[in-house]
Amino acid sequence: MSQPTNDTAGRPVVLRGGTVLTVDATRQVLAGHDVLVVGDRIAAVGPDLAVPDGTVEIDATGGIVMPGMIDTHRHLWQTAMRGYGADWTLTQYFVWYYLEWGKIFRPADVYAGNLLGAWEALDAGVTTTVDWSHGLRTTEHADAAVDALQAVPGRFVLAYGNIQDAPATWTGAPEFRDFVTRRVTGQDLLGFQIAFDVTGDPAFPEKPAFEVARELGVPVTTHAGVWGATGDDGIRLMHEHGFMTPETVYVHGASLSADSYHRIAATGGSVSVSTESEQSAGQGYPPTWMLRAHGIPVSLSMDTSVWWSGDLFSAMRTTLGADRSREHMAAHARDETVTHAALRAEQVVEWATRGGARALGRGSDLGSIETGKKADLVLIKNDRSPVSFPLLNPHGHVALQAQRGDVHTVLVNGRIVKRDGRLVDVDLAAVRRTVDATVSYLQDQLGPEAWQRGMNPDVPETKVLDNPYTYTDYQSGSTHGH
């Protein structure tokens, strides 16, 4: 059976009669409403809409129409290693990718991971993904990353990074400037950020990289608040040098002190929380409880498919669970009980959509269902599933009941990319061949023994507590939590 093809290109689309989660400023829920898409925009939201001739009709009755989800931190290049690190700790991840094997990935391998991860995102209703691409050893790798993103009809942001070299070095290279000139052309579907971490070294060697970002006018995204890697010293240095801005995205933001949260809040930045990652890998306790207390905006992310699938339903569910779990434990420690949960289902749905749009500076045209906004939409509907009804609490249904298999239809920029539960215009067999070639290459490079051992790699004693970056000898106990 062949995949469906897109014979609807360019035609208006109407999603008829669904329960619309607008995720607008008042979080309106509109039962039995239509959403009309004309061109790349939402043209109207209302009951029984009149539509232009030739409009594609999609029956959304019994389903939920929501804004496309936005993942603000995902290392797509690692997707060809899907599930390989299921039992890794963060330290083992650092050993495998940062110290030992990340440097053998070729441009073709970055392409393969990106291609698979990008399709995976669309399948799950993630219409925008920030590709936190820190395996770009050369600009050939970066070209391959972009080639893959442009082969998939989603909305992406390339967050350019390179764990194998110092940020000041690779951002200062002429070929990096050339890449930016060639490939960062202001396209609506391909945004750009610069991605690197700040070790806390008082010499602040990352300063030139921040200056490049400022000169180019692009945001910086940085793993900040990662136990044993980045901590308060990095935040303080960024703040003292004026590099904390509203566009800055702090990834994880766990294991930081109140002082750092104050600096983030005061400068208007946001935190990308990867709850499933923080719970399993060990960056620190998922920090939404602390971010809420400091009024810091939140977006959600899945980090890497070397552990987890790129599915924000998991992010919403685990984020609710982690926040509530901590709230209950803290109450019990005071010999009290929680009678009303502080974190609500509608809040995590907002973080997965509108929160991501805000983090990416796209709050005015992405992240909610409002007339005039970009048509990045998801229909959750699965008439074959006993989990699809009754639909009593729509935000709760999205956060705790629905899953990727219930994603019926996805639109990006007004274009149907998934319909009737199946991706449109994808050749998954070809994607599989591309990924298989990368897996074969990596298995050959490692050899059978190292490949097997890599699922539970030994950790050099000197690196257990130190930062994982090979381009610096700087060490500090200040990243070891409070």
- Tell me the closest approach of the beta carbon of residue 98 to Zn ion, in angstroms: 11
As a whole number of angstroms, the distance between CA 411 and CA 224 comes to: 33
Residues 208-237 binding Zn ion (CB under 5 A) are none
Stretch that binds Zn ion, among 110-118, 154-162, 297-305, 429-437 (CB under 5 A): 297-305
- Tell me the closest approach of the beta carbon of residue 122 to Zn ion, in angstroms: 21
Contacts of 336 (CB under 8 A, 6+ apart): none
Whole-angstrom CA distances from 343 to 140, 211, 319, 322, 411 are 44, 38, 9, 10, 29
Cis peptide preceding 457, ω within 30 of 0: no
Closest to Zn ion by CB, 66 vs 196, is 196
Closest to Zn ion by CB, 224 vs 375, is 224
- Tell me the closest approach of the beta carbon of residue 198 to Zn ion, in angstroms: 14
Closest to Zn ion by CB, 196 vs 313, is 196
- Tell me the closest approach of the beta carbon of residue 227 to Zn ion, in angstroms: 13
- Tell me the closest approach of the beta carbon of residue 223 to Zn ion, in angstroms: 6
As a whole number of angstroms, the distance between CA 334 and CA 478 comes to: 29
The 299-318 contact track toward Zn ion, x by CB under 5 A, reads ----x---------------
Q: Tokens 């061949």 belong to which residue? A: 433
Give the residue closest to Zn ion by C-beta.
303
What is the pairing mode between strands 415-419 and 422-423?
antiparallel
- Tell me the closest approach of the beta carbon of residue 343 to Zn ion, in angstroms: 23
Stretch that binds Zn ion, among 238-246, 295-303, 438-446, 470-478 (CB under 5 A): 295-303
As a whole number of angstroms, the distance between CA 37 and CA 411 comes to: 9
Q: Closest Cα to residue 101, out of 163, 166, 194, 167? A: 163
- Helix intervals (H) in 295-378: 312-333, 345-350, 356-359
As a whole number of angstroms, the distance between CA 369 and CA 22 comes to: 5
Residues 342-371 binding Zn ion (CB under 5 A) are none
As a whole number of angstroms, the distance between CA 73 and CA 79 comes to: 13
Closest to Zn ion by CB, 247 vs 303, is 303
**Distance from chain centroid for Cα 57:** 31
Closest to Zn ion by CB, 135 vs 394, is 135
Say if residues 261 and 296 touch (Cβ distance below 8 Å): yes
Closest to Zn ion by CB, 197 vs 247, is 197
As a whole number of angstroms, the distance between CA 213 and CA 245 comes to: 12
Question: Identity (one letter) of the amino acid at 323?
Answer: D
- Tell me the closest approach of the beta carbon of residue 27 to Zn ion, in angstroms: 29
- Tell me the closest approach of the beta carbon of residue 283 to Zn ion, in angstroms: 9
- Tell me the closest approach of the beta carbon of residue 150 to Zn ion, in angstroms: 23
Stretch that binds Zn ion, among 141-149, 296-304, 323-331, 371-379 (CB under 5 A): 296-304
- Which residue(s) pair with 250 in the sheet? 222, 271
Size of the residue set binding Zn ion (CB under 5 A):
1
Q: Which helix (H) or strand (E) holds 258?
A: helix 258-267
- Tell me the closest approach of the beta carbon of residue 361 to Zn ion, in angstroms: 20
- Tell me the closest approach of the beta carbon of residue 304 to Zn ion, in angstroms: 6
Closest to Zn ion by CB, 195 vs 209, is 195
Q: Closest Cα to residue 342, out of 360, 365, 321, 323? A: 323
Closest to Zn ion by CB, 133 vs 401, is 133
Closest to Zn ion by CB, 303 vs 376, is 303
Closest to Zn ion by CB, 228 vs 414, is 228
Say if residues 307 and 86 touch (Cβ distance below 8 Å): yes
Give the sign of the dihedral formed by CA 66, CA 68, CA 74, CA 77.
Answer: positive
Stretch that binds Zn ion, among 233-241, 298-306, 346-354, 401-409 (CB under 5 A): 298-306
In DSSP notation, 409-471 reads EEEETTEEEEETTEESS--HHHHHHHHHHHHHHHHHHHHHHHHHHTTS----GGGSSS---TT
Closest to Zn ion by CB, 165 vs 303, is 303
- Tell me the closest approach of the beta carbon of residue 324 to Zn ion, in angstroms: 24
The 131-150 contact track toward Zn ion, x by CB under 5 A, reads --------------------
Closest to Zn ion by CB, 120 vs 303, is 303
Binding site for Zn ion (CB under 5 A): 303
